[in-house]
Amino acid sequence: MAKHAPEMPIEVDSETGVWTTDALPMLYVPRHFFVNNHIGIEEVLGADAYAEILYKAGYKSAWHWCEKEAECHGLSGVAVFEHYMKRLSQRGWGLFKIQSIDLDKGTCEVRLDHSAFVYVYGQCGRKVDYMFTGWFAGAMDQILQAQGSSIRTQAEQVYGASEEGHDHGLFVVKPL
């Protein structure tokens, strides 16, 4: 397996220890730590309730991220979404690839390979990447609003690599 150094800028404040990439502070944690916390919360709340909480929180976070990164890099439109997918991929969540995107219609399809969640859950017969759904809608809606569009969206995972018969995940974003 070929390896390479991170492809995004990382700065560490000497006084505070805070890591920053581009315009935002970051945390660097082991995958098992994050996913084990995710599993623990899911066991208490149930996957459906936890998915609903994560959708709302992820939507808000993606909106904020896209707004700050667009400003930091002078990006707009599809370029913001492309940058978001690139950074998510570079940060180890999985490899995200835009299959299609149409801002005029408020639609998008994203393929996910090598999901951090699937690496831990394996093929368990259910979708485990639900954390990402709110991210896609939040990103899309921030971009749409920045362009002056009144379209708002929702996202759903169609299938995941954790389900039999699939080797990747697929997410769809469409208007409400």
- Give the integer Cα–Cα distance in Å for 49 and 81: 27
The pLDDT-based confidence of 97 (bands split at 50, 70, 90) is: very high
User: Which distant-in-sequence residues (6+ apart) come within 8 Å of 141 by Cβ?
Assistant: 59, 63, 152, 153
User: Tens of pLDDT along 143-157?
Assistant: 999 999 999 999 999
**Contact in structure between 169 and 121 (CB atoms under 8 Å):** no
**Contact in structure between 133 and 156 (CB atoms under 8 Å):** yes
The pLDDT-based confidence of 1 (bands split at 50, 70, 90) is: confident
CA dihedral 6, 157, 127, 111 (to 10 degrees): -40
- Number of DSSP helices (H) and strands (E) in the chain, helices first: 5, 7
Q: What is the pLDDT of residue 68?
A: 95
- Give the integer Cα–Cα distance in Å for 122 and 65: 29
Residue 23 pLDDT > 90: no
User: Tens of pLDDT along 100-114?
Assistant: 999 999 999 999 999
Kindly state the helix (H) or strand (E) to which residue 19 belongs, with its residue range.
strand 19-21
- Give the integer Cα–Cα distance in Å for 34 and 32: 6
